[in-house]
Structure 1
Amino acid sequence: MQKSQRLIQLIMRINAKQSFTVRELADEFGLSTRTITRDLQELSELGVPVYSIQGRGGGYKLLQERLLPPISFTEGEAISMFFACQTLDYFGSLPFDEGADSALHKFYHYLPVDIRQQIDRLKNRIMFWSPHRPMSVEILQTLLQAIMVSSVVTINYNSSRGVSERNIQPIGLYASSGYWYCPAYCFRREEIRQFRTDRILSAALNAKIPCREDVSRMTLSDKPNKDHVKQTMLQLEMTNKGVWLLESNPRLAPFIERNEDGSGMANIEIAAENLHFYVDLIWQLGGEAKIVGPAEGVAYMKQKVESMRLLYQSELP
């Protein structure tokens, strides 16, 4: 076996072991302990984070930040990977610290010159844009760590009712329109709630509260059980333009029914507690959409209209 091949296999082996002795590796590879020691020293100089354990038994241990073995990519895969990483460029904050930038730099640096030239020609011509939303990197990292190690997190959350302390068990993290969201089990409300991470003022792992096993098994694809949540039917009428505008909204588009003249209507079952959110959404369409029901939604819309009328009353002739 060539030395380069042996070093690659050695990297793969110690990545799997994390803790090992020179004698163990020597026996596995059929080499002397002196040769394995030299190889480990060479890997250390190349950046593989191994360090010796002092004391009885001795041996070596791999630092937490392990190196992965080399992976071969085709040209098409390389270009795809590069632009997949670039989808993160426009987020205000990421839960990966500087790892994404560092990986992208390494990936680009070791590509063949002609592939780098192709990528350079595509720069600023392909863009995965997302609105810039400033938020705490540290909080995102804490939530990500909680998901990885299955831990409860104590947060201070700024909701419409003010700031409150919550103990939550995160299910996952996802991004939409530049914001990061964290669906989590709230121990205070005893149900799954969705938290917008830019509204989390502080976050710390809390090992004193045990995680719920049923929540630990959940993923972002699991929808909360809504049997205990009061529902209401949001009924809308839309002009042609209203239909055109709402067809781009993933919350409402599936429920739109077009009339022959291009106008439309929609009946959407929503959580009653989210009614004001949807009314505020429809408010932005002005006269292109009308709320027909429920009565509480119509009343809230009329309240908004009256508030706007009073705001401009002194300026009207």
Structure 2
Amino acid sequence: MHKSQRLLQLMMVINMKMSFTARELAEEFNLSTRTISRDLQDLSDLGFPIYSVQGRGGGYRLLRERMLPPIAFLEKEAISIFFACQSLQYFGSVPFEDEATSALHKFYHYLPKDTKEQIDRLKNKFVIWNPKRSISSSIVKTLLQAIMLQKVVAIQYSSNKQESLRNIQPIGIYASQGYWYCPAFCFMRNQYRLFRADRILHAELNDSIPFQDEIDQRTVFNWDTFEKKHLENVMLTIKLTPNGITKIDSNSWFHTADYEKNEDGGTTIRLKIPRKDLYFYVDMIWGLGHEAKIIEPIEAIEYINKKIELIRKQYV
């Protein structure tokens, strides 16, 4: 085996082991400990994060930031990965923002010249728009770390002009309309709740509360399925213009709605929602202005009329 091939295999084995001795590697590769020690020194010189542990039970360990071995990509794969990462730039914040920028820079820097030229021609030609919101990237990063490391998070949360300290076990994270949402189990309320990341003022991992596997079985798609079945529901019916339906299609809160085409070119959608969330949905419809008309329920129409009256009074 050529030395270059051996070093690549050694990198992969070390990444899996995290801690090891030169003798263990020598036996696995059927080499002398002297040869393995030289290989480890070569990897260290190349920037692979290995450090030696002195004393009894010593050996080698990897630093926390492990380095992955090289991966070969096809040209089309390289272009798709570059733009998949770049599409996140229009979010107000993304987890591991600095790391993603660094990785994208490395990825672009080592591409062949003709591939770079193809990517450069697509810049400002291929964009995925998202409303920019002011969100702390460190908060989103902590929530994501909690999911990966199976930890509980202590948060300071601001809602309805009140602040509270809570411990939550995040189930997942998703983005909608430029906001990051985190469905989680709230230990203070002893309920599953949906938290908006921009309303979390502070977040840190909390090892004092045990992680619960039962909670971890849920996903962003079914985190509140059981609770919704036991709530009083109401049918929200909305008539939308063609422009209105284009806007509502990008809103994930309406992805389960039933659609029916109208003779006038518009669309009527029907969505069963918990009654307690009615005004939350109506406020989103309010943002569509004349592109949407609520048909039912009556309390939603009355709520819209009150908002219209308040606006009218401001311009009297």
Tell me the TM-score normalized by structure 1: 0.90
Q: Are 1:232 and 2:239 counterparts?
A: no
Q: Which runs of 5+ in 2 are unaligned?
A: none
Matching residue of 1:136: 136
Residue number among 253, 271, 275 corresponding to 1:272 in the alignment: 275
Structure 1 residues 211 and 245, CA gap change in structure 2 (3 angstroms): closer
Q: Which runs of 5+ in 1 are unaligned?
A: none
On the 8 A contact 2:152/2:169 being kept in 1, the answer is yes
Matching residue of 1:216: 216
Matching residue of 1:14: 14
Matching residue of 2:89: 89
Structure 1 residues 219 and 266, CA gap change in structure 2 (3 angstroms): closer
Q: 1:240: Cα distance to partner?
A: 6.5
Q: Percent identity?
A: 56
- Aligned pairs (5 A) from 1:1-317: 1-160=1-160, 162-224=162-224, 225=226, 226-238=228-240, 246=248, 249-252=251-254, 254-313=257-316
When Rg is computed on C-alpha atoms for both structures, the one with the higher figure is 1
Matched residues in 2 for 1:240 and 1:90: separation? 26
Q: 1:47: Cα distance to partner?
A: 0.6
Matched residues in 2 for 1:17 and 1:138: separation? 29
Q: 1:4: Cα distance to partner?
A: 0.8
Structure 1 residues 135 and 8, CA gap change in structure 2 (3 angstroms): same
On the 8 A contact 1:243/1:256 being kept in 2, the answer is no
Structure 1 residues 67 and 261, CA gap change in structure 2 (3 angstroms): same
Q: 1:309: Cα distance to partner?
A: 2.2
Q: 1:22: Cα distance to partner?
A: 0.9
Matched residues in 1 for 2:73 and 2:13: separation? 22
1:87 partner SS: helix
Matched residues in 2 for 1:263 and 1:112: separation? 49
Q: 1:250: Cα distance to partner?
A: 5.0
Matched residues in 1 for 2:209 and 2:248: separation? 43
Q: 1:198: Cα distance to partner?
A: 0.7
Matched residues in 1 for 2:250 and 2:56: separation? 66
On the 8 A contact 2:238/2:294 being kept in 1, the answer is yes
Runs of 4+ in 1 over 6 A off after TM superposition: none
Structure 1 residues 290 and 90, CA gap change in structure 2 (3 angstroms): closer
Q: 1:164: Cα distance to partner?
A: 2.0
On the 8 A contact 2:177/2:251 being kept in 1, the answer is no
Q: In the alignment, residue 27 of structure 1 is paired with which amino acid?
A: E
Matched residues in 1 for 2:50 and 2:248: separation? 56
Q: In the alignment, residue 114 of structure 2 is paired with which amino acid?
A: D
On the 8 A contact 2:260/2:267 being kept in 1, the answer is yes
On the 8 A contact 2:192/2:223 being kept in 1, the answer is no
On the 8 A contact 1:86/1:128 being kept in 2, the answer is no
Tell me the TM-score normalized by structure 2: 0.90
Structure 1 residues 15 and 270, CA gap change in structure 2 (3 angstroms): same
Q: 1:180: Cα distance to partner?
A: 1.2
On the 8 A contact 2:285/2:292 being kept in 1, the answer is yes
